[in-house]
Structures are given as structure tokens and as C-alpha cells.
Amino acid sequence: MDIKLEARRIADVEADAVIVIGFEGAAPAAPAGGQIQELYDSGEFTGKALEIAVLHRPAGMKAKRLAIAGGGDRGKFDSSELRKLSGAAVRSLKSKGVRSIALALDDPFRSDDFAAAAVEGAMLGDFENDRYKSDPAKKEKHLDSFALLGGSQSAMDRGRVLAEAQNFSRSLADEPANVLTPTGLAERARQMAAEQGLDCEVLDRDRMRQLGMGALLGVAQGSAQPPAMIVLRYQPSAAPPSKDRLGLVGKGVTFDTGGISIKPSDGMEKMRYDMSGAAAVIGAMRAIAQLKPAVRVTGVIPAVENMPGSNAQRPGDIVTSLSGKTVEVLNTDAEGRMILIDALTYAQQLGCTHLVDAATLTGSIVVALGAIRAGAFTNNEAFLGKLLAAAGAEGEKMWQMPLDDEYKEALKSDFADLHNIGGRPAGSVTAAMFLRDFVGETPWIHLDIAGTAWLDEAKPYLAKGSTGVGVRTFVRLAQNW
């Protein structure tokens, strides 16, 4: 899609459609104002959020169509709402054969955050998960161009970089598991790193065995697909102002059957998205390489397939993690935390001073927060404050969950240092407590994105499938460092 800044007056823009924003109770000031007011007066358009109305051959305009997109309550309209509005308008119009769109922003909404969000929304809305449909007639249509009236070129460029990174993350998580194996994920990361100027290292099974990553290797041993530990490194071109190194760690289970503790068959096909945390980290590193924040960032992605093969890990097995701590495996379907503990330890060994991990870790977080917010856990309130500020600025909703010491009682093992599950009560909390035991005093945040990483049904502004959640937050966190 061609993204451009449009300098002409709205009346002079030549496009298949020009979009203006209409709020509740007030028609936008635009050409064809009388026609727009008629829509309000008749109740055909009310300004409700994400409502779309289209005027053909609007009076006084060169554009073929004028689309009025609902912004809801003007007082509550922010860049997050604009991102969704832009995506919803694109998805609605492209389905009607529109190929070129221009979005007009009023003066109060021409800041860099609004301009970037408008571009992000358009590109995210244009994305479709249809690459495996062989019939061209069944493939979704796409925009040729998107122009913005209002805003700066630098803000639009940032929005394009972020949207491309998020869509890259979505394309990874949408891949079927027979295509995207752990080795395949490593190759995609290696290719991206080469294109963007990042350093990439991939540890194979033998190297992980030499290092002592027993927790990760225990999960991987039931699959014919070998595991991979992917390390992506970003180094600022100039000496960074601090010695901090931000570590982003993403769970990369390319398919999760549950292992011997096998999952129910209903819905198991969606377990290809159990590597959404990994996809978010890889996507974020792609954007970080282009936007060049002044902090060192290392991405660590443990990639495995969890299968019930003849050599699979058994309930009751005891493994020794990279940290030296032992874990009794009570449930092989609690595999994500097992690969993460070795990755978190390794990230610290690589010099990371601050850690954020993202994982589709528990069904419990979906029970607690649904598909609206990711759960955030931390051992450092100040660090979490920075991440939540970044998430808020990017419109990615998160909610802090507790980590009281009492929850660790559920992880006590009679035969090892701890076991890998804490029972049904507070399952997302005990999973986070398990991870916390392996980070020590290093400032750390765990994001459980199980409810927010995948859409079972399309939204007006986003296609069904992977959401790419976390990418924008990670990039903003690095840029604000």
C-alpha cells in the first residue's frame, strides 16, 4: 500500500473515497455539508463509534465518494479510537471496491500520535489472512493507496513502520504449524534480521544441551521437530546514555498439543498461535531496528513444538533448568513456563538488565480478564509503570495482577525445588509466580496475552486471527527509555 501525506484541500483530493470524522450530535465541517446534515437529521448517521455512511458523488468534491466515519463522543476521542476508526473505514470501503482512500483530520487531531494511529489503523485493517486461498475470487481485496490530510511525514513514517511490524507478527502467528516449525520460525527471524541490520544467533539442541537448558529441552523431546533458541540483538549506532539492556522474551510454542497431558481436540487447531509472544518480540525487534531508540535491546525467543511422541516428557519427570533449579513436571501442558524460565535465565546471562516476557500462558487469564486486557505481573512497580504508560499511549489494554508471596505455596514440590503448576485457583498468578522464581532481583514484567493474541471473529477494524498484541507497546517502551 502506498502511504502518502496529502497537501491539497479536501475538495480537490482525487480518490475513490475521502473519509471525514463525524461525532455524536455534530456534523463535520466539510464539503457536501448539506448532504451530511441530512444524514444526521434522518438518523441514517448518528456519529456513533465506528458507524460508516457513504455519499456518492458528493457536492463540491472531486472524490468519487465521501465517507463519514463515526468517532463517538468527541470528548473521549483519542488516538486509540482513531486507529480503530481508520481500520474500520478501510475494511468497510475496500469491500465495496474502493482502492484509494484519503482521511481528513481536523486541526485538534493532527498531532503525531493521531497521524501515526491513522496510518496504523489503515494498514492493520487492510491485512487479511488469506494467503492459502488458491481461488483469486475468494481472496480479500486490498487498498492501493492511503493518504492523510493533516499530520507530519515523520509521524506517518512511524505509523507505517509499526503497522508493518505488527502485520509481520500477525503473519507469523497465523501460519499453520506444518509450515512454521521452530526451525521455520528461526529462519524467518534470521531473514528479518539480515534485512533490518540486526544481529541474529540461533542455538540448536546440542548447544542448549551443553548450556544446560533442561527445562526447554524437556518440552521439546516429544517432537520430531528440533527446538531453537533465537537471539536478536539491537545496538544503537551511538553510545547509549545508560548501560541498561532491555530484554524482550517471547514464548514460541509453534504448536501445542499439551503433550502427554493432551488437550481436548475441540479448538486445538488454534494452538498454532501459542507462539504469539515470540511473534510479538520478533515484530517489535523489526520496528526497533528501523526506529533506532537509544537503548540496547535483545530479543530472546525459545521455540519448540509440544507433542506426545514416544520420547515425550511424562508427568512426574524432574528436569534441571539453566538456572540450576529443578522442576517437577506435574502437567506437560504447562510447557510455556518451562521454556520461558530457561530463556529468562539466558537473557540475564546475555546482560539484560530489564526483562519483559510475553506469552499465551494460561486460560486462567482469559477467565479473569476476557479478551479485552492482557494480564501484567511484575517484581518492580516503577518498571511496570513505564510499560503501562507505553501500552496506554499505544492503545494496548493491560491490567496489573497480584504476585503476593503466599501464592508461591501452591508451587511447593516434595521431590524438586518446585513443580510447574499450582492447581486451578489463581492459575495465571501461580504461573507468573513460577516465572518470578527465575528472575531474582532483575526488574521483570510478565504479560499473559492468552486472551488478547487471537480474534475468533473479525472486528470491524481487524481481521479474524492473530492480533499482533504487544508489538507497539514494546517499541514505545524502548523509544521512551
Q: Measure the CA–CA gap between 326 and 215, rounded to whole angstroms.
A: 9
- Burial of 125 (C-beta count, 10 Å sphere; 0-12/13-18/19+): buried
Strand 374-378 relative to strand 444-448, pairing? antiparallel
Alpha helices, DSSP H, located in 319-466 = 336-349, 364-369, 381-394, 427-436
Q: Measure the CA–CA gap between 399 and 390, rounded to whole angstroms.
A: 13
Q: Walk across the sheet containing 145-149 and list its strands.
A: 2-5, 145-149, 100-104, 17-23, 65-72, 52-56
Q: Which one, of 83, 93, 84, 82, lies nearest residue 140 by Cα?
A: 93
Identify any residues that bridge with 260 across adjacent strands, giving them in sequence order.
none
The amino acid present at 348, given as its one-letter code, is Q
Would you call 126 helix, strand, or coil by DSSP?
helix
The amino acid present at 410, given as its one-letter code, is A
Residues 6+ apart with CB under 8 A from 454: 173, 270, 273, 276, 360, 465, 466, 467
Q: Which of 263, 325, 386, 459 is catalytic?
A: 263
In 24-173 the beta strands, taken as DSSP E runs, fall at 52-56, 65-72, 100-104, 145-149
Would residue 337 show up in a list of annotated catalytic residues for this protein? yes
Q: Which of 337, 373, 436, 476 is catalytic?
A: 337
Would residue 4 show up in a list of annotated catalytic residues for this protein? no
Q: Measure the CA–CA gap between 319 and 188, rounded to whole angstroms.
A: 30
DSSP labels for 193-253?
HHHHT-EEEEE-HHHHHHHT-HHHHHHHTT-SSPPEEEEEEE--SSPPSSS-EEEEEE-EE
Q: Measure the CA–CA gap between 383 and 346, rounded to whole angstroms.
A: 20
Q: Measure the CA–CA gap between 312 and 222, rounded to whole angstroms.
A: 3
Cell matching residue 112: 503525531
Active site residues: 263, 337
